[in-house]
């Protein structure tokens, strides 16, 4: 009887141990692991691919290297650009979103590396964060204020002279067109010729009427632009079709 009782107890103990083994510590979910600390300046594309493939959360520290079309990027030591991205970007406070657009801003981002396939088929490398809490800002660079736009000097071609011309000077000239060859000019009172010039990409935006008017000798026009010199030719360069006003 004692032997049977001993065998029953031993069997029960074995079952209990086996059950404990089966209910042991579960495998660690990568999402539950503490984020791996990384420095942007020490990383290369191979590091990105490694952590991307493991889907491992990282704590990435560095400075914003580029801001293009409102998108911010870290730059790795080999030149690899990694976009700082969140699906909840629009929910960020303005102060935070503004800092994300400052080149040189020190920043730590907690997130995961993920590839995004753009419409053109290219792959954008990203670190995706979930909320404002995943962003920690450090030192902010001194941003120099944008200098005020230069004052525009208004000139009458019939009264202006070569002494009014200065490279880079913002001007608005009113006068009559002098056509020489296929080019339009203003003629100053001392016979100085100023070519009315625009780059090809701007010329393509002009209406047919504007293009035709520029070919009319004596046509009255006001041109807003900047003085410059190209291969010895004095020019006023305008930047858009709206810089031309014909009378």
Q: Do domains 30-137 and 153-246 have the same CATH topology?
A: yes
Q: What is the CATH number of domain 153-246?
A: 2.40.50.140
pLDDT in tens, 154-170: 999 999 999 999 999 99
Confidence tier at 28 by pLDDT (50, 70, 90): low
Q: Does domain 30-137 have CATH number 2.40.50.140?
A: yes
Lowest model confidence (mean pLDDT) among 112-121, 136-145, 193-202, 229-238: 136-145
Residues 236 and 195: beta-carbon distance below 8 Å:
yes
pLDDT in tens, 120-134: 888 999 999 999 999
Identify the pLDDT of residue 21: 46
Beta bridge partners of 84: 127
Q: What φ, ψ does residue 160 adopt, rounded to 5°?
A: -75, 155
pTM of the model: 0.49
Residues 244 and 197: beta-carbon distance below 8 Å:
no
Domain ranges of the chain: 30-137, 153-246
pLDDT at 85 over 50: yes
Sequence-ordered list of residues with C-beta below 8 angstroms from that of 128, at least 6 positions apart, any chain: 85, 86, 87, 111, 112, 114
């Amino acid at each position: 009887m004692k032997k049977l009782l001993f065998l029953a107890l031993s069997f029960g103990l074995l079952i209990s141990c086996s059950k404990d083994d089966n209910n042991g510590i579960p495998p660690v979910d990568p999402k539950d692991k503490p984020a791996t600390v990384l420095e942007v300046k020490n990383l290369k594309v191979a590091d990105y691919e490694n952590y991307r493939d493991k889907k491992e959360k990282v704590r990435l520290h560095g400075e914003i290297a580029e801001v293009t079309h409102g998108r911010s990027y870290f730059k790795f030591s080999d030149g690899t650009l990694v976009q700082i991205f969140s699906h909840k970007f629009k929910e960020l406070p303005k102060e935070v979103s503004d800092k994300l657009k400052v080149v040189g801003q020190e920043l730590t981002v907690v997130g995961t590396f993920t590839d995004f396939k753009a419409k053109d088929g290219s792959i954008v490398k990203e670190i995706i964060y979930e909320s404002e809490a995943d962003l920690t800002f450090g030192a902010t660079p001194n941003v120099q204020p944008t200098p005020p736009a230069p004052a525009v000097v208004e000139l009458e071609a019939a009264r202006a002279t070569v002494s009014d011309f200065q490279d880079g000077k913002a001007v608005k000239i009113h006068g009559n067109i002098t056509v020489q060859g296929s080019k339009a000019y203003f003629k100053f009172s001392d016979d100085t010729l100023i070519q009315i010039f625009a780059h090809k990409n701007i010329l393509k935006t002009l209406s047919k009427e504007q293009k035709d008017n520029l070919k009319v000798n004596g046509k009255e026009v006001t041109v807003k632009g900047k003085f410059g010199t190209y291969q010895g030719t004095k020019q006023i360069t305008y930047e858009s079709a709206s810089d031309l006003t014909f009378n």
